[in-house]
């Protein structure tokens, strides 16, 4: 039978080693979770920023089309490119809605991005009507472009508000971690 003077220090050593390993494991797990959540918040804010910039550029083109400075057929490629970019942003934001702290913010952002997509479709519909050479649906086309333009303005503002909220929450969480 081993001597108690040898066995007791070994038990204490292994007990403390197990406690330290458990503590390190918890730090790694919690730290990884915090990093993933922070990365999700940053990704959500980045998607919102890209979308806001994209819509701002598109609004300039649609405004020029609305004021008859640009032909609808000349604005169509930019609208199609913006629609494709928004679709990619929706896909990225939808991936962030699955879990985590930022799921609700990402879901709200997805809703606003889809709103912007519908507005672009509305503008495209109006542009098609404006291109009609017979002029029968000219008034409807002009109205669709104007309403679509206003919907784009409102969608961009809503996306901007979402981004600002996300950044504010992220800054508060960062302050909470630093004490």
Specify the pLDDT at position 39: 76
Q: Does domain 43-178 have CATH number 1.20.120?
A: yes
Specify the pLDDT at position 166: 84
Give the pLDDT mean for 90-116. Answer: 86
Q: What's the CA gap between 149 and 105, in Å, rounded?
A: 25
Q: Are 109 and 44 in contact (CB under 8 A)?
A: yes
Specify the pLDDT at position 61: 95
Specify the pLDDT at position 11: 85
Q: What's the CA gap between 77 and 67, in Å, rounded?
A: 18
**Token digits of residue 118:** 């519908």
- pTM, rounded to two decimals: 0.77
pLDDT digits (tens, 9 = 90+) for 119-128: 999 999 999 8
Give the pLDDT mean for 3-32. Answer: 83
pLDDT digits (tens, 9 = 90+) for 18-49: 888 888 888 777 777 777 777 788 888 999 99
Question: Is residue 138 very low, low, confident or very high in pLDDT (cuts 50, 70, 90)?
Answer: confident
Which residue in 164, 95, 150, 141 sits closest to 118, CA to CA? 150
Q: What percent of the chain has pLDDT over 70?
A: 92
Give the pLDDT mean for 100-107. Answer: 80
Domain boundaries, the chain: 43-178
């Amino acid at each position: 039978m081993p001597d108690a003077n040898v066995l007791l220090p070994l038990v204490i050593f292994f007990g403390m080693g197990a406690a330290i390993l458990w503590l390190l494991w918890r730090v790694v797990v919690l730290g990884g979770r915090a990093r993933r959540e922070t990365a999700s918040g940053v990704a959500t804010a980045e998607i919102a920023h890209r979308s806001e910039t994209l819509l701002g550029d598109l609004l300039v083109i649609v405004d020029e089309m609305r004021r008859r400075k640009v032909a609808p057929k000349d604005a169509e490629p930019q609208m199609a490119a913006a629609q494709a970019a928004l679709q990619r942003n929706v896909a990225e934001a939808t991936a962030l809605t699955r879990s985590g702290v930022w799921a609700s913010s990402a879901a709200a952002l997805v809703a606003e991005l889809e709103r912007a997509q519908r507005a672009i479709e509305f503008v495209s519909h109006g542009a098609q009507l404006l291109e009609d050479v017979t002029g029968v649906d000219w008034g409807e086309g002009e109205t669709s472009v104007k309403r679509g333009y206003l919907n784009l303005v409102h969608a961009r503002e809503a996306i901007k508000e979402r981004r600002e909220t996300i950044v504010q929450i992220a800054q508060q969480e960062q302050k909470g971690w630093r004490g």
